[in-house]
């Protein structure tokens, strides 16, 4: 058995450092001197030396305060960001990244956004064409196919994004604050049912969220990030307890209903 037979994602000594430029104050000569000498640059270590193996079929939750490196870690997994020198990030099999609103254009219709949003997610055009009617029906937007989504309510947009995702085919799903509270109560109940019965079945799921309820319900393991560091990997109960003790979760906007 090769590594890719039972491992879906592998990170080895993965770090990510960004160089940003600050605004330089002062007169022309002071600004020029600062820029020429690199005084306007500083480095931010968003992710620091993380090693991790995610097995096929696992549901992994990633939690942490804002700015802890959660989304950066997802980008490293998908290859959007390359790790710093010496780090290795590998993903085995087909994958899509889901994030509400990702790939939507307000000036395009629901029909056009299905293809735009799906392509950004990594869904094949042939699959989108094949499932177009099913997506529209699932999202309950039959009367709004040719309406620009700038006229859609937040719930309508959420239903459309979820419908595209449900009909996508991929071995690995990386969700960045994607699932939870989708649409009205009736649609939410329906989406919860679909998520539990078909969406996560036989797939590897990596779920970044501040809403801990979904992670608590489905996750096999949870990763806690803080200022780019991995503070722990364990069961939901273990990591939620660590989260409360080390990050003082009561002072943060964290929900666990």
Quick: pLDDT tens for 28-57.
666 666 666 666 567 889 999 999 999 999
Q: 235 or 21: whose pLDDT is higher?
A: 235
Indicate the pLDDT class of residue 164, thresholds 50, 70 and 90. Answer: confident
- Check whether 90 has a pLDDT greater than 50: yes
* pLDDT value of residue 32: 66
- Check whether 178 has a pLDDT greater than 90: no
Which pairing describes strands 204-208 and 172-176: parallel, antiparallel, or unpaired?
parallel
* pLDDT value of residue 40: 58
* C-alpha distances in Å from residue 230, one per residue of 52, 166, 185, 222, 242: 10, 30, 36, 11, 12
Tokens matching residue 142:
């039959």
Indicate the pLDDT class of residue 97, thresholds 50, 70 and 90. Answer: confident
- Check whether 256 has a pLDDT greater than 60: no
Strand partners, 44: 18
- Check whether 74 has a pLDDT greater than 50: yes
Q: For the chain, give every domain's residue range.
A: 3-93+171-251
Q: Does domain 3-93+171-251 have CATH number 3.40.50.300?
A: yes
- Check whether 20 has a pLDDT greater than 80: no
- Check whether 254 has a pLDDT greater than 50: no
Mean pLDDT of 197-213: 84
- Check whether 225 has a pLDDT greater than 60: yes
* pLDDT value of residue 75: 93
- Check whether 253 has a pLDDT greater than 50: no
- Check whether 255 has a pLDDT greater than 80: no
224: left (phi over 0), alpha (psi -120 to 50) or beta: beta
- Check whether 154 has a pLDDT greater than 90: no
Mean pLDDT of 119-130: 83
């Amino acid at each position: 058995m090769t590594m890719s037979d039972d491992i879906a994602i592998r990170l080895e000594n993965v770090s990510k450092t960004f160089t940003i430029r600050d605004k330089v104050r002062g007169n022309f000569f002071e600004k020029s001197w600062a820029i020429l000498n690199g005084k306007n640059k500083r480095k931010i270590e968003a992710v620091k030396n993380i090693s991790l193996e995610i097995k096929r079929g696992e549901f992994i939750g990633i939690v942490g305060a804002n700015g802890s490196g959660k989304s950066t870690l997802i980008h490293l997994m998908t290859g959007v960001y390359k790790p710093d020198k010496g780090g290795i990030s590998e993903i085995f099999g087909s994958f899509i990244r889901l994030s509400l609103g990702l790939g939507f254009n307000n000036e395009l219709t629901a029909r056009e956004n299905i293809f735009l949003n799906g392509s950004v997610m990594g869904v094949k055009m042939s699959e989108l064409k094949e499932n177009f009617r099913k997506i529209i029906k699932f999202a309950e937007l039959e009367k709004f196919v040719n309406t620009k989504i700038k006229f859609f309510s937040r719930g309508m947009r959420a239903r459309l994004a979820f419908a595209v995702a449900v009909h996508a085919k991929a071995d690995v799903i990386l969700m960045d604050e994607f699932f939870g509270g989708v649409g009205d109560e009736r649609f939410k109940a329906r989406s919860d049912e679909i998520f539990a019965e078909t969406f996560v079945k036989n797939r590897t799921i990596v779920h970044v969220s501040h809403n801990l309820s979904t992670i608590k319900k489905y996750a096999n393991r949870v990763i806690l990030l803080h200022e780019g560091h991995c503070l722990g990997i364990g069961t939901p109960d273990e990591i939620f307890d660590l989260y409360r003790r080390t990050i003082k979760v009561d002072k943060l906007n964290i929900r666990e209903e």
